[in-house]
Amino acid sequence: MNMPEQQALVEHLRESILRYRLEHSDRHAYALVYGVAYPSLFANVLEQIKPQAASQLALIFDASGETQHEQYGPFLVELTADRDALLTQTLLTHCVADPRGMSFIFSRHEIDGLAEGLRERLPLQCEDGTTWQLKFFDSRTLPILASALTAEQQRSFFRISREWWFLDRERALQRLTGNDESRDDYRAPLRLSEQQAAAFIDAAVPDSVLYILERTDDDLTSAFEPHIRYRIVEAAVASASDEERNSTTLLADRARLELLAKLNERDQA
């Protein structure tokens, strides 16, 4: 995505958020930010909201760096239309550049109540008794939640929001709808069946393979737009043999060959 396209998408998101807030004035608008995706953003946000920091920012959990201005965990920032045009622009610019670490929640809940509700949604337990931390603050997790959970689980999990927006891998705006109930009676942990747990695990494999290739073959992976290289690797993983699926090394080798083949096709076109 080139710079004019990024700027156009930032403006589209800004207008969409503004329009939603005008139509739903009783809802608060929040950015949910995964700090590790944007190392310098937390300090930038603090500087912009300094007078209102206590009421406009809340940590989901603390994963601070060497100073209080370094935050690598998830945090909420409330977007207040009357004074935060620059803040909104800053957040949207980061989101469009890398959508993985940001989503937007519209809710009737005040920031502290929403943060507490999100903390309650962190624990996850599988049928075999193993426990995970549910990384809903990584936007790649949201479509898996929407597809893998039962209707009742979805209603319970998303009841804390009216809408939960994120950009998918193609940077298209997606919206998940909740009930936005005034009383949040969600009870942790989120319990997954064996089939549901497998859906989360399988969805993570292409990204794990890409993580390896981006460190061993960065010249190759950088030849493709992020969503294109993901789809190539995803297809390679889907067509892998059982032997390959049991070895990260073999999966990476298969994906590397697919990327090379696609690059060769493109060069010959």
pLDDT band at 200 (very low <50, low <70, confident <90, very high): very high
| Angle, CA of 221, 243 and 229, to the nearest 5° | 15
DSSP code, position 74: E
- Residue 70 in tokens: 């370094």
The percent of residues above 90 in pLDDT, for the chain, comes to: 86
pLDDT band at 265 (very low <50, low <70, confident <90, very high): very high
Q: Where are the alpha helices (DSSP H) in the chain?
A: 3-23, 41-48, 53-56, 85-97, 111-120, 142-148, 151-157, 194-216, 218-221, 226-238, 242-245, 248-268
What is residue 192's three-state secondary structure?
strand
- The model's pTM is 0.94
**What's the gap between Cα 266 and its chain centre?**
30
Specify which residues 31 forms β-bridges with.
Answer: 77, 104
Q: Which of 149, 171, 192 is the last residue of a domain?
A: 192
Specify which residues 245 forms β-bridges with.
Answer: none
Whether the pLDDT of residue 84 is over 80: the answer is: no
Q: Determine contact, residues 92/86, Cβ cutoff 8 Å.
A: no
What is residue 154's predicted lDDT score, i.e. its pLDDT? Answer: 96
Q: Are residues 119 and 250 in the same domain?
A: no
Q: Are residues 180 and 202 in the same domain?
A: no
Q: What is the mean pLDDT of residues 103-131?
A: 97
121-170: per-residue pLDDT in tens?
999 999 999 999 999 999 999 999 999 999 999 999 999 999 999 999 99
Q: Are residues 153 and 184 in the same domain?
A: yes
Q: Are residues 132 and 148 in the same domain?
A: yes
What is residue 55's predicted lDDT score, i.e. its pLDDT? Answer: 85
What is residue 104's predicted lDDT score, i.e. its pLDDT? Answer: 98
What is residue 1's predicted lDDT score, i.e. its pLDDT? Answer: 82
For the beta sheet containing 123-126, the strands, ordered from the edge strand earlier in sequence to the opposite edge, are 131-133, 123-126, 190-192
- Residue 62 in tokens: 């603390």
Whether the pLDDT of residue 34 is over 90: the answer is: yes
Q: Are residues 138 and 171 in the same domain?
A: yes
**Mean pLDDT score across all residues of the chain:** 94
Q: Are residues 48 and 131 in the same domain?
A: yes
Residues listed for the chain: 269
Q: Are residues 154 and 248 in the same domain?
A: no
- Residue 256 in tokens: 């590397």
**Count: domains in the chain:** 2
Q: What is the mean pLDDT of residues 216-225?
A: 96
Q: Are residues 113 and 186 in the same domain?
A: yes
Q: Which of 152, 175, 192 is the last residue of a domain?
A: 192
Q: Are residues 150 and 184 in the same domain?
A: yes
Write out the residue range of the structural domain in which residue 251 sits. Answer: 198-268
Q: Are residues 138 and 232 in the same domain?
A: no
What is residue 210's predicted lDDT score, i.e. its pLDDT? Answer: 97
Q: What is the mean pLDDT of residues 43-50?
A: 88
Whether the pLDDT of residue 81 is over 80: the answer is: no
Q: Are residues 202 and 132 in the same domain?
A: no
What is residue 70's predicted lDDT score, i.e. its pLDDT? Answer: 87
What gap in Å lies between CA 78 and CA 131, rounded to an integer? 31
Q: Which of 139, 159, 192 is the last residue of a domain?
A: 192
Neighbours of 237 (CB within 10 A): 22
Whether the pLDDT of residue 208 is over 70: the answer is: yes
What is residue 82's predicted lDDT score, i.e. its pLDDT? Answer: 60
Whether the pLDDT of residue 54 is over 80: the answer is: no
Burial 116-133 (b: 16+ CB within 10 A, else e): ebbeebbebebeeeeebe
Whether the pLDDT of residue 207 is over 90: the answer is: yes
Q: Determine contact, residues 143/198, Cβ cutoff 8 Å.
A: no
Whether the pLDDT of residue 238 is over 70: the answer is: yes
Q: Are residues 170 and 250 in the same domain?
A: no
